[in-house]
Amino acid sequence: MYRDSERKGPMSPQLALRVAIIGGVALVIFGIIFFRLWYLQVLSGDKYLAEANNNRVREIKVEAPRGKIVDRNGEIIVDNRQGKAVKIVPDKLPEDAKQKAILYSKLARVLDMNRRELRRDVNQQFKMLPFSSAIAKPDVDMATVAYLQEHQKEFPGVTVEQVFQRFYPQKEVGAHLVGYVAQVSEQALKDKIYAGVKQGDRVGVAGIESSYDRYLRGRNGASRVQVDALGNPRGELTTREPVPGRQLRLTLDMNVQKAGQDALGQAKGAFVVMDVKTGAVRGLGSTPAFNPNVFSKQIRQSDYRRLTDPDNGAPLSNRAMQGLYPTGSTFKLITSVAGLESGLITPGTVVNDPGSVRIGNVTFKNAGNAVHGAVALRRALTVSSDVFYYLIGRDDEGKHSIQKWARRLGLGHKTGIDLPAESDGLVPNPKWRNKLFKDKLTDRPWSVGDNVNLSVGQGDLQANPLQLGVAYATVANGGRVITPHLAQRTEDADGAAVQEFNIPARRRVKIGAENRRAILDGLYGAANSPGGTSTGVFANFPVDIAGKTGTAEKGLGRADQSWYAALAPYPNPRYVVITTFEQGGFGAETAAPATCKILTVLLNVKKKDACAPKATPAAGTPTE
């Protein structure tokens, strides 16, 4: 019994180390817990108290009405209307999964929606904003509202709220310009231009609605409401009033816009009307068009497919700035500038036009096999002598002045118009084609024939009406490459100017005064002189204009593209008008009469039958 006490000796070093480690760990854990409690209760107490209070406070968004859009005369193009939106409140939905599924099925039938799409969309909104109501359908008629109110017990969590809906009273007229709005996407929220925008807000996604969204959008307000543990409102705490968006006044003239779209009719085509000195757009349209009011509601995938289907004419495409086409003889204005400014010709250079010319092993002919005899620049433009320009294209091979001047005058790159999704276009050159050949994407390298085709706006050239309008305006105004634009100013609720948009010219190019006058004289002759390609259309027009027809061959049995470019009034043009029809045939037969109709409104012509009726050209008469 005494040996037990004898066995008790000093603690071994190993055991002492273990006890020390365990004690140290326990001390550290105790310290962490102590400091965590101190941090939560002392340092962060106010924060968590505020969060606890916030659990009893809900913020309800008060939507700000978007600013109106009006034309230069104050005519309303885009407005707002009060609508009814069906929303789902998450706290009020049935907790039972089966009952929730039944609710969605019944609601989908009432709203004429797909049940799965409805539930998926609502759940996505709940995921983004867990405590906010989700929009089931943004715009419903009063019959639907009445039914939901009468059967409220069958639809727990479903409410109807008054909202502002975008309203487009002009419908298809100007649709491609104004665009439309939609709920902001998750990706767009990352863009700094949408600072202050939250999931569920509606923003401009096309046209002017998109380009000037920051002015039109305004700032949403909010009501802070106190709720109980079940989410039932117990009283309003504070209210922040919404700030409406600014009104936007455009340079557009709706009378001209309507005339342009009436002139196009149901054909696939486009038109552009601009001030040659400032670039202010008076009209710009594309057909077929669409009704932007469909986007004020919840657009279906089937509707979107229909609006983008090429077989249906792709109504959402803005052919005026996105369509890419060869321009036919309207391009001769550019070839004229290139030939004159590079020294290949002078205004007095005379060329014999026997109806065709052989270059290399290819014979190039005039349109309609016309023979024009001896022609200088003015007469060549008046009768649209292809041979005259073929020779410039041949002689320019190696210099490529045509390509340089085409780009200087606005082709081959964006014009800078204040609309999204503008196309660049293409001015073909040896480097471009030779690279395609090297990559085995075409069957041959560049040849002189390509330059000859380009001289008359054929071949691989890709341009849109807006770019061609800039080129004509530049020659008309003496060398200022204008920037097309639609926005004139923003205004307050009373229509007083808040911010003016002064859009400067992009650059200047030097065109000799004598050369410029010779070109304009030739275009004047084309619309007025005997043998002019559009004299038959403008013979009765009371205002002098200068104009050029264009017919672009497409091949493969497809109808030719019809073009017309007009400068008015002559000799000091203020406006340029470009019209094109994808399957219009000769420019003099389709595009020129349409342009004449636009000019009657633009220039306020009251004379009856100002546009001569379309006549079949006599044999040997130029038909471009």
pLDDT for position 451: 97
pLDDT for position 165: 85
pLDDT for position 128: 67
Contact of 537 with 614, CB cutoff 8 Å? yes
The model's pLDDT over 295-323, given as tens digits with 9 standing for 90+, comes to 877 666 777 788 888 888 899 999 999 99
Statement: residue 124 has pLDDT above 90: no
pLDDT for position 43: 58
Select from 3.40.50.170, 3.30.465.10, 3.40.710.10, 3.40.50.720 the CATH code of 254-295+305-602: 3.40.710.10
Question: 404-443 burial, b for 16+ CB within 10 Å, e for fewer?
Answer: bbbebbbbbeebbbbbbebbebebbbbebbeebeeeeeee
Mean pLDDT, residues 141-156 taken together = 86
Largest CA distance in the chain: 143
Instruction: Using the Cα atoms of residue 391, residue 394, residue 399 and residue 405 in order, give the sign of their dihedral.
Output: positive
Q: What's the chain's Rg over C-alpha atoms?
A: 35
Q: How is the chain split into domains, by residue range?
A: 58-250, 254-295+305-602
Domains 58-250 and 254-295+305-602 share a fold: no
| Distance, CA of 597 to CA of 610 (rounded, Å) | 9
For 470, what's the count of Cα atoms within 13 Å in the CB-facing half-sphere? 30
The model's pLDDT over 53-105, given as tens digits with 9 standing for 90+, comes to 555 666 666 778 899 999 999 999 999 988 788 888 887 888 888 888 888 88
pLDDT for position 559: 79
Per the structure block, which two tokens stand in for 343? 């020294």
Residue of 462, 475, 446 lying closest to 547 (CA atoms) = 475
Mean of all residue pLDDT scores within the chain = 87
Number of CB atoms found within 10 A of residue 586's CB: 22
Mean pLDDT, residues 397-415 taken together = 96
pLDDT for position 120: 84
Instruction: Tell me the pairing of strands 247-250 and 69-70.
Output: parallel
Contact of 155 with 144, CB cutoff 8 Å? no
The pTM assigned to this predicted structure is 0.84
Statement: residue 225 has pLDDT above 80: no
Q: DSSP label at 375?
A: E
pLDDT for position 97: 83
Statement: residue 616 has pLDDT above 50: no
Confidence of residue 234 (pLDDT cuts 50, 70, 90): low
Share of the chain above pLDDT 90, in %: 57
**What topology is assigned to 58-250 in CATH?**
Penicillin-binding protein 2a (Domain 2) (3.90.1310)
Per the structure block, which two tokens stand in for 255? 């009378």
| Distance, CA of 612 to CA of 227 (rounded, Å) | 74
Mean pLDDT, residues 2-13 taken together = 58
Q: Which amino acid, one-letter code, is at 191?
A: D
Name which of 145-149, 286-290, 473-477, 498-502 the model is least confident about: 145-149
pLDDT for position 516: 97
Confidence of residue 483 (pLDDT cuts 50, 70, 90): very high
From residue 323, give the alpha-carbon distance in Å to each of 105, 326, 471, 550, 556. Answer: 44, 10, 16, 16, 19
Q: Dihedral (C-alpha) 374, 376, 378, 380: value to the nearest 10 degrees?
A: 60
The model's pLDDT over 17-51, given as tens digits with 9 standing for 90+, comes to 777 777 777 777 877 887 767 666 665 656 655 55
Q: DSSP label at 604?
A: T
Statement: residue 619 has pLDDT above 60: no
pLDDT for position 617: 47
Type and span of the H or E element at 299: none
Mean pLDDT, residues 326-353 taken together = 97
Per the listing, tokens 């609006």 go with: 307
Residue of 256, 252, 172 lying closest to 598 (CA atoms) = 256
